[in-house]
Amino acid sequence: MCPVGGTMTADLRIPAIQYLRMSTEHQQYSLENQSAAIRMYAESHGFEIVQTYCDAAKSGIVLKHRYGLRQLLHDVVTQAAPYRAILVYDVSRWGRFQDTEGSAHYEFLCKAAGAPVHYCAETFANDGTLPSLIMKALKRTIAGEYSRELSVKVLEGQRRLARLGFKQGGRPGYGLKRLLISPNGLPKQTLESGERKSIATDRVNPHSW
């Protein structure tokens, strides 16, 4: 569940929204950690978090399935609420777009609407100076390259396991069940519908009843 932002107070702080994203549902504390760091940044820089948008278990490669970011962009561009800043943990949480111009484009839309993006955990200020522009471009490239390299490694790993006879997701065929196999190749237990392995090094193999 996405953490809930605060409400406006009477101390005339700048109204801001926070955007949170984690890539998989296994990153149990990612959203809370991001939100905690953003709150500290907001308190020290005069912002008041009035709204939270988040994408839980969503890849940062494309915008299509990131409903939180899509809603954020819509609200900011149409000025549906008086947000003056967008607080994000770091460049990679904004997105791991394969085309770095996509990341820059969405950020520019927010800036043009009067709500610039602040990367709270980065070592540079997103202030438009030459050093910050260079660092941001580098971080965007690194974020995209990380996803490309990870995709290649995951695909090759899946191919290798498939060649060894291990199932790579999906329902077992008719008359088969999923058998959990230890790293030593020993059967451990049969997985029922909805059950999943809890140890990454275990493997799943279809077997007859």
pLDDT at position 188? 76
Tokens of 6: 């605060």
Q: What is the pLDDT of residue 6?
A: 53
pLDDT confidence of residue 7: 47
How many Cα atoms occupy the beta-carbon half-sphere of 162 within 13 Å? Answer: 9
Residue 9, pLDDT score: 47
Cα dihedral 70, 73, 74, 75 in deg (nearest 10): 120
| pLDDT attached to residue 201 | 61
* CATH 3.40.50.1390 domain locations along the chain: 14-150
- CATH 3.40.50.1390 fits domain 14-150: yes
SS3 188: strand
Q: Is the pTM of this model over 0.75?
A: no
Identify the pLDDT of residue 10: 46
31 contacts: CB under 8 Å, gap ≥ 6 = 2, 3, 20, 22, 54, 56
The series of mean pLDDT values per 10 residues for the chain, 209 residues long, is 54 91 70 94 96 86 89 93 92 89 94 95 92 91 73 65 68 69 75 69 64
pLDDT of residue 185: 73
